[in-house]
Amino acid sequence: MADTGLAPGLYVTATPIGNAGDIGGRARDVLAHVDLIACEDTRVSAPLLKRYGVATKLIPYHDHNAARVRPRLLRRLQEGARLALISDAGTPLISDPGYRLVREAAAQGLPVYAVPGPCALIAALMVSGVATDRFLFAGFLPTRSRARRRALSELATQHCTLVFYESARRLAASLADMAATLGAREAAVARELTKLHEDVRRASLDELAAHYQAGPAPKGEVVIVVAHQRSVSVPMTTRSTGRSPTRLTSCPCARRWRRSPISAAGRAARSMPGRWR
Ligand code: SAM
């Protein structure tokens, strides 16, 4: 193996979630100098790496071949190789493959290094306007409504912000189940973050459900951020006062709360160089 100045070991490396400019200098160096990069799909990662001038060999590592490929990767690590693990986008292991590889490497005393970077759940929290001091990342919910509602009722008593990954196709149905199970909490739908059509919509869960049920399914990738139960909307005034029938209470960000299809962020993303997806 060439002497690249990089210590042997497994480098778990984050890549952009949309904007190719969002890669760190260290991640680029690591990807350029490791002996092999394990990626989910070479058709996704090869163009991105080419853009960075990285010519390192790729090996597919995904749910369907992991059991077969993992022992080979571990053997290479035992022999002193430098391997990187990346996913299609964002941080490996976060709703993406890699957990068993890291676990087994660690169990064998092999070095594992984090090369942190973009992650959709963190990006969504950063712009949601929902409290970020305590949160629970719940990953993807079940696809069937009954199972989804059951999973949501188990989360309903958590005293923290909840973060979900969801497909755009199921967004309206999931929001409706969230509104039914969690109540009219504040929430944000963060879609296509760092990409051309970036959009963050902030409202209560029932308003968001109504919004997405009314139109065609949106396109792209979505994160849903839901405030904890203390910020449930409570009836405040009647319609006769002419004021809004609901108010968001108890949450420090309620004052700032407003429905805002963002578009300053979308405009900013549009003007950024390096969008790749
Ligand atoms: N490992 C990735 C990460 O670090 O965020 C997540 C991979 S998971 C298979 C893909 C999900 O992440 C999508 O379905 C969506 O919920 C979310 N996601 C990824 N990129 C996103 C983006 N640019 N904007 C909004 N959500 C995104």
Q: How far apart are the first and last CA of the chain?
A: 34
Q: Work out the number of other CB atoms within 10 angstroms of the CB of residue 235.
A: 9
Percent of all residues in the chain with a pLDDT value above 90, rounded to a whole number: 80
Please name the residue whose Cα sits nearest to atom 19 of ligand 1. 120
Q: What is the pLDDT of residues 164-220, one digit of tens each?
A: 999 999 999 999 999 999 999 999 999 999 999 999 999 999 999 999 999 899 999
Ligand 1 midpoint to CA 120 (Å): 5
Contact between 135 and 160 under an 8 Å Cβ cutoff? The reply is: yes
Nearest ligand 1 atom to alpha carbon 190: 25
Strands of 36-39's sheet in order across: 58-60, 36-39, 82-85, 9-13, 112-115
The residues spanned by each domain of the chain are 9-115, 120-271
Ligand 1 midpoint to CA 141 (Å): 14
pLDDT value, residue 94 = 98
**244 or 14: which carries more pLDDT confidence?**
14
Report the pocket of ligand 1 as residue ranges, CB < 6 Å: 17-18, 87, 89-91, 94-96, 119-121, 165-167, 190-195, 221-223
- Pocket probe for ligand 1: among 39, 223, 277, the residue whose CB has the most ligand atoms within 8 Å is 223
Evaluate whether the domain defined by 120-271 bears CATH number 3.30.950.10.
Answer: yes
pLDDT value, residue 273 = 47
Task: Tell me which CATH homologous superfamily contains domain 9-115.
Answer: Tetrapyrrole methylase, N-terminal domain (3.40.1010.10)
Q: Residue holding tokens 């760190």?
A: 24
pLDDT value, residue 229 = 82
Nearest ligand 1 atom to alpha carbon 124: 25
Contact between 193 and 124 under an 8 Å Cβ cutoff? The reply is: yes
Please name the residue whose Cα sits nearest to atom 16 of ligand 1. 165
CB half-sphere exposure, 88, CA atoms < 13 A: 11
- Closest by CA to 87, choosing from 68, 115, 51, 67, is 115
Is residue 244 scored above 80 in pLDDT? no
Is residue 239 scored above 80 in pLDDT? no
**178 or 238: which carries more pLDDT confidence?**
178
Is residue 34 scored above 70 in pLDDT? yes
**77's tokens:** 């690590």
pLDDT value, residue 233 = 47
The C-alpha atoms of residue 61 and residue 265 are separated, in whole angstroms, by 34
Ligand 1 midpoint to CA 85 (Å): 17
The C-alpha atoms of residue 26 and residue 32 are separated, in whole angstroms, by 10
Is residue 44 scored above 70 in pLDDT? yes
Nearest ligand 1 atom to alpha carbon 164: 16
Read off the pLDDT band of 58 (50, 70, 90). Answer: very high
Nearest ligand 1 atom to alpha carbon 14: 4
Ligand 1 midpoint to CA 221 (Å): 6
Read off the pLDDT band of 8 (50, 70, 90). Answer: very high
The C-alpha atoms of residue 1 and residue 246 are separated, in whole angstroms, by 65
pLDDT value, residue 4 = 67
Is residue 61 scored above 70 in pLDDT? yes
Ligand 1 midpoint to CA 53 (Å): 25
pTM given for the model: 0.86
Ligand 1 midpoint to CA 3 (Å): 35
User: Which whole-number Å values give the CA distances from 54 to 190, 266, 276, in the listed order?
Assistant: 31, 29, 16
The C-alpha atoms of residue 238 and residue 84 are separated, in whole angstroms, by 59
* Long-range pairs for 99-103: beta carbons < 8 A, 24 or more residues apart: 100/66, 100/70, 101/10, 101/38, 101/61, 101/66, 101/70, 101/73, 101/74, 102/10, 102/12
Picking from 88-102, 237-251, 260-274, which range would have the lowest pLDDT averaged per residue?
Answer: 237-251
Residue 136 CB contacts under 8 Å (≥ 6 apart), including other chains? 155, 158, 160, 161, 162, 163
| Residue 200 β-bridge partners | 190
Is residue 238 scored above 60 in pLDDT? no
